[in-house]
Structures are given as C-alpha cells and as structure tokens.
Chains A and B, each alone.
Chain A
C-alpha cells in the first residue's frame, strides 16, 4: 500500500515534469555541450511556505563541474531554489514541495531518499559565515567526525584548508577560535569545512555579500579553482559577480503573486550581452532590481 502510493506520487511527478518539459525548458548544460549529463535536472519545481507559493514551476538543468549563477532581485526565490537542491528547506516548518529534482538521475525528493545523505553529497556555504564557536581545526574536523571519520584528521583538515586557500593564513592558529578570524577568512573556513567532507556539489548562497572587495575577490578566485572538481551553484544579487565567475546564468523574477519563477537562462557570455527576454534585458541593464 505504501509502495503503491509512493510510486503513484513518483509517476504523477514525472508526468508533471514531462508536461512542463514541453514548455520553456532551459537546458543549460545540454546547450553548452558540457562534458556529461547535468548534475541537477530540476523539473517543474514548485514550493509553498504554508499557503504562500514561493517558487512556481521551475525547470532548469545545472551543468556538472561548471559554475551556475542564480540572479534576480530580492525576494525572487533564488535562495529558496538553491536550498531545494540539498533539501535544506525541509528544516523550515510547513514547507511543501511539488515537482522533481534529479541529482545525477536520482530523485532527491523520492520518499526513500535520505535528506542527510543528500546534504553529505551536496555541500552548502551560507550568506553569513557561520563557523561554530570552536577552534579552526575543530570547525573543519566537525564535518569529518559526523561523517564517521575517526582518529587523526590532521592531514584531511590540512588538505581541506589548502583547497579553500586558507591554509597559509591559519596554519599557526589552528587552535584559535574560528570566530576570531576575519569575515573573509571565516567564509573560506566554511568552504573548507564543506570541502572536507568531499561533496560533489557546492551550493553558495550569496557567499560574498557580507565581505569586503578583497575578500570577495579571493572567494571568486577560489571558486574558479574549485570548478574543476565541483559543480557550483551560486546565488548572487551582484550581476558583476555573476558575469565574472559563472559559466551559466539563470535569471529569476517574482510574479505578481510574489511566487518566484525562472525567466531565462543561458551561457553567461551571451546572457549579459544578448538577453532574449525583455525583462532580463531591463534587469541586467539596471533598469530595476
């Protein structure tokens, strides 16, 4: 009985997905001819907070090992969309989700899918750096410990800090509190923490909005470095940042009922110089938002 209803739900979802696929399908990865199948295939995704619909019918492919930027004015649902990709929205009570998100072909929202496992493989960096009030070392080791690593973690911690381009700055202060670092260093510490558990994807929710330009530059440099190994999705309200770092850009806008929807997406190069949609053009040329 349980199985029946589960498969029924899945069937419904794929039917919906097929329906919406006929419409504006934004196959960024496919369009670019990227090396492989998309990392994420988002199909007809809608999300409600209680009665309020925050996302409407989003269909989008996210290319593997590329940087995809989600841009749009505040309140357009770009962070909400990002948080759908590792099921973080479930931590908020009263959230309902419709549609489908496939990660490497697996349905993230299938009943038998484990959100914990999802988040282990899809890492996230937040708007405001959020290291725990422990030492730099323990911040990085925390993720490793909860993922079952035991014993000496020194090498793994060092490797993660190196990958996050932070090692040289903190090698002498591993025992100091992570909260004692500067904002930019804290953010890179959070990136190191995420990288330490070896995810396949890094979701970044306006990672530079609390940082100064130099710290921002360092993070952007780091992202370019990381995309060789990771799929990166970044939410930003900074169009310059999107055009600087991303390979693909998706533009979102809230409709009249404030539900966020996808307007346009494509390769970043042509996206900013040659937008297809009038609203995108207005936005990227700074007429609103």
Chain B
C-alpha cells in the first residue's frame, strides 16, 4: 500500500538571506525595494499554491472517509458481518466475502511470499551480473507496471482454462500471487540491500559459506523490511477486484469455501456488486462493506508501518 521507506536524504533547511550587505544601501541595489517585495509576494503565493495542492489529497481522503462512514455505519451490524448475501439489502451480509478474502489472502501469501523472497535473495546475493540476471531485473520492473486486469486474463487463460482449475480459490490465489510477486521481490531486494556490507564481510571473514551468510546474517537483518513489503503487497491483493472478476469469481455465494478448489467471492467483488445496483439500500450496505475492507487494510498498514519504524530504531549500524 505505501511505498517502502525511501531514503530520507537531508534537504537544505531554510536558507537565511542576509538583508544587509556591506557598503551598498538597499534602495540603490538593482531591482529596488518594490521589486523585491513583489518577488517575495510571488514566492509566498507559490508556496501557498503548493500547500493547497498538497492539501487536496488529504481533503479528498477525509471527504471520502466521511461519506463512507455516514452512509455505511448505520447498516454495519453483526448481522451484516455474519450473513450470506441476499436479494434483500436488509438481510444481505458479507460472511462469504469476508471468509473468501481471508482464504485468498492466506493462499496468495503461501505462494507469493516464499517465491518472492527466494527470487529477491537470488538476485541480490547469488546472481552475477549476467544477461540472465539483467533480463530478470528488467522483466520484474515491467511486470510491476502491467495492469492488474491483464493478470486476470493470464489467470483466465492459464489457470482457469488450461490447468482446468475452474473458478476456484486456487486459481484466484495463483493469479494474485503472480500479481503481487514483483512487489514482494522489489521490497525484498531493497531490504536486503539495506544490510551493510560490513555485516556480510564480517561473516565471510569467519569462513561462512554464502548460504550461511544469507541465512545467518542477511535475512535476519532484512526481515523487518521484508515483512513490511510483504504486508503491503498482501494488502494490495486483498483490495484487488478486476483480476478476480476476469477469472470469473462469483458475485453471489451463499456458502463458505471448504477447500482451495471451491468457488469463492471476495469483499471487493461483493462491494462492486452492490455498488452496481440501482437501489440506494444496496449502496448503503456497499459502504458498510467498504468500512470492513478499509479496517482490514488500515490495520495491515499500521502493522507494516510499526514494523518499519521498529526496525529503523533497533538496527542502527
């Protein structure tokens, strides 16, 4: 969700302009006082403009949250969370969608996390600078920019049709895993790169093999950063809708999945379904569903930020 910590290079703080320079009286210098006042006012106006632009995003976020809470809170009850969907908005709930989302989350993590970490470790610690590693790097950068719905088409063609997994949780989770894999690989690499070289050298100098250095030194030190990236990638998976629609996840499911081969629905699809209906009563429960989705996402994000900050405090080399 948020980007992994970029390096916060120090920027120049306020530069103090000396108004008095030896010798030349102020009013005789080129430009003159009025010109400088205008120049100052222009600068001030520009700063305010920039500030206003920054505030737009914050403002929209507040309005969006307020609107969703206003519309969705009244219908957010325990019945809503524990009921299956229904043709009648008063009786409809998100039980199947919530459970489906959790299933999908777990399965996606199962596929994407080990693969992403392993790929990141290979690229950072094993790969020599060969054409292969360069191709993989460029490829990952490009995959990160492929629209999610294209992954849906891949899932449809490969998992649903070719591998005959049908519209199952497994097909959805595999599609999602491929979707978030670039994110996990990139953040794993960044976390590994943040481990100082002196740490690696210290271990190599003791006669550690490459795998001992990786498992004993690099991964423990990079773990918090990797976890942050993983959580953010998984929160992306939980909020995605389009690829799952494409592979044909159902919108109306009145039972809970019991195995990875069962059909499923997820929260965003349920929300999409309700938003698309004309009746305002469905819009209200869509807002309630959004509240649940955002609570899940924000708590995942909070966890990621907490881990990131703790790692920053703890590991000061």
Interface residues of A (CB under 8 A from B): 86, 88, 91, 93, 116-117, 119-121, 123-124, 126, 128, 130-133, 142-143, 145-147, 179, 190, 193-194, 197
Contact = CB atoms under 8 A, between A and B. Distances in A.
B303 to A, nearest CB: 22
Given A119-B206, A145-B216, A146-B207, 17 more contacts: A86-B205, A91-B200, A91-B204, A116-B208, A116-B209, A119-B205, A119-B208, A120-B207, A123-B205, A123-B206, A126-B205, A130-B201, A132-B221, A142-B203, A143-B206, A146-B208, A147-B206
B202 A119 contact: no
A39 to B, nearest CB: 17
B315 interface: yes
Contact of A130 (B128, B199, B208): B199
A190 B207 contact: no
A133 B201 contact: no
B205 A124 contact: yes
Contacts of A190: 202
Contacts of A131: 202
Nearest to B202: A130
A79 to B, nearest CB: 12
Nearest to A133: B315
Nearest to B211: A146
Contacts of B128: 93
Nearest to A90: B204
B206 A132 contact: no
B28 interface: no
Interface of B: 128-129, 196, 198-209, 212, 216-217, 221, 314-317
Contact of A143 (B199, B207, B209, B314): B207
B310 to A, nearest CB: 13
Contact of A193 (B206, B216, B315): B206
Contacts of B314: 133
B212 A146 contact: yes
Contacts of B207: 116-117, 119-121, 143, 146-147, 197
A130 B198 contact: yes
B208 A88 contact: no
21 contacts: A86-B205, A88-B205, A91-B200, A91-B201, A91-B204, A93-B128, A93-B129, A119-B206, A121-B207, A123-B205, A126-B202, A128-B198, A130-B201, A133-B221, A133-B314, A133-B315, A133-B317, A142-B216, A179-B317, A193-B206, A194-B205
Nearest to B128: A93
A88 B204 contact: yes
Contacts of A116: 207-209
A143 B316 CA distance: 22
Give chain B's interface secondary structure class.
helix
Contact of B198 (A120, A126, A197): A126
Contacts of B201: 88, 91, 124, 126, 130
Nearest to A134: B220
B123 to A, nearest CB: 14
A234 B212 CA distance: 27
Given A133-B314, A142-B216, A197 B200 contact: no
A179 B220 CA distance: 15
A194 B205 CA distance: 8
Contacts of A86: 205
Nearest to B221: A133
A132 B217 contact: yes
Contacts of A123: 205-206
Contacts of A143: 206-207
B209 to A, nearest CB: 5
A181 B205 CA distance: 21
A145 B221 CA distance: 18
B307 to A, nearest CB: 16
A197 B314 CA distance: 28
Contacts of B198: 126, 128, 130
Contacts of A194: 205-206
B126 to A, nearest CB: 12
Contacts of A88: 201, 204-205
A132 B221 CA distance: 9
B193 to A, nearest CB: 14
A145 B207 CA distance: 11
B130 to A, nearest CB: 11
A145 B199 CA distance: 17
A143 B204 CA distance: 10
Chain B CB within 10 A, most for which of A88, A117, A119, A197: A119
B289 to A, nearest CB: 43
B306 to A, nearest CB: 19
Contacts of A91: 200-201, 204
B184 to A, nearest CB: 24
A193 B199 CA distance: 13
B316 to A, nearest CB: 7
Contacts of B316: 179
Contacts of B196: 130
A147 B208 CA distance: 8
A277 to B, nearest CB: 32
A105 B219 CA distance: 37
A146 B205 contact: no
